[in-house]
Each structure stands twice: as C-alpha cells, then as structure tokens.
Amino acid sequence: MADGSIKKLVQPEVTPELVASHGINAQEYQKIVGILGHAPNFTELGVFSVMWSEHCSYKSSRYYLKNLPTEGPYVLQGPGENAGVVDIGDGLAVAFKMESHNHPSFIEPYQGAATGVGGILRDIFTMGARPVASLNSLRFGAIDHPRTRYLVAGVVAGIGGYGNCIGVPTVGGECYFDECYNANILVNAFTLGLVDKQKIFTGLAKGVGNPVMYVGSKTGRDGIHGATMASESFSEEKEQRRPTVQVGDPFTEKLLLEACLELFQHDYIIGIQDMGAAGLTSSSTEMAGRGDCGIEIDLTCVPMRESGMTPYEILLSESQERMLLVAKQGCEEKIKKIFDKWDLDAVVVGRVTDDQQFRALWHGEQVARIPIGALTKEAPVYQRPAARPAGQDKIQHLDAASIVEPKDLTAAFKQLLGAPNIASKEWLYRQYDQFVRTNTVVAAGADAAVIRIKGSDKGLALTVDGNSRYCYLDPYVGGVLAVAEAARNLACVGARPVGLTDCLNFGSPENPAVMWQFAEVIQGMRDACVALNVPVVSGNVSFYNETDGVPIHPTPTIGMVGLLEKVARVVTPWFKAAGDVVVLLGRTRDELGGSEYLKSLHGLTRGTPPWIDLKLELAVHHCCLEAIDAAILRSAHDVSDGGLAVALAECCIGGPDKPLGVRIETHEMIRGDALLFSESQSRIVVSLKEANVERLKDIAARHHVPLQVIGAVGGARMTIQPLLQVAVEELKAIWSNGLTARLK
C-alpha cells in the first residue's frame, strides 16, 4: 500500500524541455492542451507520452496496417485485442501473437529477453487460453562483433530461464547474424495457447459501477517509460538506460497463470488485460476505450513494493506479472479468494464510470483527468512522407558475370554450411525445454514445430520466418517471400495455415526511406496473404530500430500457425532410409541476388531477391499437402537459405539418427554455384519409396507443379554430380560446430 504520510502531491513544472523529453512534439503538445482545455500537469503529460508513443498508438503504421487481410471463416478474434484467436474445430480455438522486446534486450539482454517471453505469455492467457508452445526470432550483429557473444548468451539464457521455469516449451524459432544489427538487436517472442471457443476473454470494461481490480505482483519502479523508450532511436547514452527495462519473475507468472485460468472457470469478470507496455495506464484506458465508458483509478490502493512512489511512477511502471480486470459487482471477494490461494494480490483499485473520462486519484486528490478517446481512438495518426531511397537502384544492380564462380565448389559448400546463418542452432535451442507438458511432436530444427492436441487426432504446426536481406533489396518482394516461406514451412510438415501474426521491425518512421520500406513490405505481405488465403489475426510494429541515425534492414518477422487433421501423418525434413527416391518439387533458377551464398562467400548484399509466382507457390503447397495426406512422402524440406545444396545436406544430417548420404543428378543448364546455392522459391525436396513415385507425379501434374526425380538416398557421402561430393560425417561436424566454434 502507499505511504500514508504522503498527503499533498507536488508535481514538477511542465516545461518545453520536459515535454520534449517525453517524446511529444510541439504540434502534439498543442493538441493535448486543446483536448484538456489547459496545460497538462506532470502526471497527465506522462499518460499522454506513453499512450501517444509509437509503441502504444501505432500512429505511423495504422494507415498501412488497415490494408492487411484480417478476416476469414475461422477467425474468432482479429487484431486489436491481446492476441488473435482462430477456430480449429471440436470446440477448441488457438490464441497466438508475436511481440518485440528489442531495445530492452540490447540494454539488459537477460531481463529484456525474459520479460519479452513473460509479456507474450500474459497476452495469451489473458484471452482465457493456456499457453502450450513458444517460438522466438532473434537477430544479432556480426558474429565477430565484440558485443555479439555477450548479447547472444544473455538473450538465450533469458528466454530459457523464463520459459523453462513457467513450464511452457520453446519448440522452435530462428536466429540470424548481420552487421546491420550490431547496435540494435531484435528479440521477437511468439506464444500460442489453447482455449475453449466458448470461454474467450477480452480486454473490455463496461457496466457503470463495476469494480476495477488489480491482481498479481506489486508495482515497482522498473520499466518506467519502457513504451516511450521503445519508441526512440538508440544512442550511446540511451544504451545505459537499464531502469527502463522490466524485471521478470517466472515463478510469480506461473502462479498468475494458474490463478487466472482458475478464475476463468467462473462467471466473475467482464474483461481482463495484461499490464504490459505503459502498465496500468494502457490497460485501464484501452479497456475503457473498447467498452465506450470511463474509468476511475485510486492509485493509493495499488499494491506497491517500493515506498514513496508517485502517481506518475505508478501509472507508468511496467512491473511484470500484473493484470487489470473488471469484475461483476458482488464478485470481489470470490475473486480475492482465488488469488489469495495462489499468494497473489487482488484488490479493488477503481470503478467503471459513464463519463468516458480517465481519472486518477491520489489520497482523494484528482491528479489526472483525460478523455478516454483522446488516449485511444483519437490518438494521432500520421501518413508520414515515404520516398524510395536514392541508392536503391545501386544495391539492386548485380552483374552476375562479375561474380567469380569458385573453382572448388565442394570447398565453397563446406564454407557456406558452416556459416553462422546456416550452421546448426542446436546450441541455442538445447537450452530451452522443448518437451515439457509432453505435447511436442516435432521440436526445433525442422521446417516447423509440431505439437499434438491431446484428446484428439489433431496437431498444430508453428513457424517463424523472415529474411531481412530480401526486404533491404526489394521490400515488396521481401514481404511476399516472408509470408510464402512461412506457409511453405507448414506445408512441409503437413499443415494448412489458419492464421498469421507478425512483428514488423523497422528504423525510424520519420525517415522517408524507412516509411517507403514499411509501405512496400505491407503491400507485399498483403498480396501474399490474399493469394495464399492466410488472415493476419494479430501482430506488433517496432519502429526506431536504429542507432545514431543508422537503421537496421527492414525485418518483418512472420509467425504462422497451421492445422494438421491427423498429427500421426506429420512429415519431418530428414531422409529416412537408403533406397528412397529424392524428388524436387519446383524449379531452380539462375538467380543469386540476396542469397546467403553471395553474402557469406562474396561479402555482397546486392541484386534482387528471388522471383516468385504466388500461384505456383500455392500449387506447390497443395501438391505437398496432398502427397502427405496420401501417406506417400517419407520426408519434405523447404529449399531456402543456402539453396538446394544446403537443403539436401540438412536432409542428410539434420535428424536425430545417424546421417544418411545421397546421390543427386540435376539437369538444369545453369552455372554451378547457382544450381547449388540459388534460393529460388517454391521448391521442396521430398523423399519417398520408389513404388510411390508415379503417384507423386500424378499429384504434381494435377497441380501443375514442376517435378524432377533427382536422386536416391544411400551411402556415406553427399554427391551432387558433377559439382561436389563430401562425406556426410564431415558435413555433420562442419554444420554442428559452425556456430558454437564462433561463439566460444
């Protein structure tokens, strides 16, 4: 409880310097004065600063985000809530979302990553869903950058430490290294939960007089201005802002999870919301905004773990493991009894009102009064200037003839296989508990993770994907390819997409070049989602990912969920038995622009990304899915980073069993390095028994999918005639040690 000795609040004077330090420009400040009818006091200024921040208001992105397809026959809840929800049949639904925790993870990698996991978990169980699986997408600077080892170690430990303690498996993800992230890493966290479709909860306040209750941990000073910090560019000075990073406690989160799920079994509440970015401020105002009502909060009632906290600090704190709920009148004690059982605070801190105002009280004094709409629906929306960068044509130009083909393609292949972005990420994911709760069927390392739905024949596939080089070279095509590859990953395990979440990581929206990149990526994503029939049900935008004016490459991360009607039919990427025939679905093109080969072996990020025909892409998915449904495929693996050679190597060495060799003969009349390392789209390598080849040919013909029988599984070597051959045991060693050797 608050220090009872505090009676009269003295607030700092609001000066132009103070306004600017809160990230509010002169035009916005004048708008605030007009809304209030007077200059804001210090507390009101803080409330506006977080609610009008880029992180909370989406003021630079809303104009473009509205173009994404968000509806579909199975969508129960689209963007705008804590998470999206999709119907998967049998009375069940899945809730899922992805969020960024980039700046906090750079400042304090362990807690930044840990609280990113904690925050996304709360977004899921706030919807009434039990979290059952998590993924992550990580981007670090160059592998040899002085801070990379420290940041990787801290982030991975934070993800594992929080997820492992709370008992939610981390079943997959991705990790890339590039110098564009040297001073601004990306940590994107994804979680999926299962929920009874009749028991979905939302962040809604309504019912005049209904009590507003605070549940969970006590409030401290950690995380104050986390939302505004996430809406600023980095500088050397801002790297030291550790107080803006939240501190997580996974054991308390586990208690909060179980308490909330127990609460949801009763008809005690109207709505509930996580106190995430902007803490008590955002949860209270957003809930009131959705319910078209007002809300009054008595800050003296808020449980606190530090003495002398001010209203400003209480409202802006982003302390973890807290929820705000609107209870039905008369249910307060019943709710308190549940949270007492789990040793958590549960106190009435306010009430729902009918005046559409946000009011904050402190020892009986009104310290803030702001119209709800001004903080939510009427927050600024900008259509910022967007302009194609002057140097875009230059980076897209690639004279293929100037790229000298390696004389020794075997040596080149070995080098590529051991590159940080290609090599095995087992060192990372073995630090995560992948099998807790015993639902995991396919864990990290495959095209997509797969979990079973206990009590049914069904399974869920989950994947995250994105390629920032493609988006840097051509943002539109990069947006298309990110969606297409995620859907292809699901097809490879036998799953049909049901929905998409995204985390859109970009530089400053005040830079016209960045806004052009953002607009182009969104358009590309939209076109791919429409063509592949995948609705966007949730997501996050993270701007200001830059340091001293230098932005990261545009990095849209796509999280996609797919449904397997028969989880027993799941297919993995790895070859299963000698004698199986190897088939390539799709066609390899003579294109090297934006490839990992070009980057790793030639030091170039140039050219245009691979060409894609979305009709062909969808046809390849349908072909693969039909073949899996017919139980004729033994393995299936997407051809992506590193091209055909890397995909084949992963099929040989990536599985849990002893490596298997393969002998390949291809017939494309293109240069050798392109045949091996081109990242041509819409390709899947599959293996099957020889007796089933004709059936696969029939399926491919009906879907108008190019098909080549390219070889057979067997032996102790990987051979691609006449270009390369190498022992699979040697490949296994290169691939397994490529990353760990660089990080030790």
Select from 203, 192, 335 the least CA-distant residue to 264.
335
Helices (H) and strands (E) in the chain, counts: 27, 28
Active-site residue numbers?
Answer: 55, 101
Q: Which residues contact 209 (CB under 8 A, 6 or more apart)?
A: 329, 351, 352
CA of 423: how far to CAs of 135, 308, 673, in Å? 19, 51, 19
CA distance 551 to 556: 14
Q: At 561, phi and psi to the nearest 5?
A: -120, 135
The answer to whether residues 337 and 249 touch, using CB atoms and an 8 Å cutoff, is no
CA distance 333 to 526: 48
CA distance 174 to 424: 11
The answer to whether residues 444 and 432 touch, using CB atoms and an 8 Å cutoff, is yes
Strands 345-353 and 550-551: unpaired
Q: At 531, phi and psi to the nearest 5?
A: -65, -35
Per-residue DSSP letter, 697 = H
CA distance 255 to 263: 12
Q: At 108, phi and psi to the nearest 5?
A: -140, 90
The answer to whether residues 505 and 640 touch, using CB atoms and an 8 Å cutoff, is no
The answer to whether residues 358 and 285 touch, using CB atoms and an 8 Å cutoff, is yes
State yes or no: cis peptide before 722, omega within 30 of 0: yes
CA distance 445 to 432: 13
CA distance 508 to 526: 22
The answer to whether residues 332 and 348 touch, using CB atoms and an 8 Å cutoff, is yes
Q: Which amino acid appears at position 71 of this protein?
A: E
The answer to whether residues 319 and 380 touch, using CB atoms and an 8 Å cutoff, is no
The answer to whether residues 657 and 570 touch, using CB atoms and an 8 Å cutoff, is no
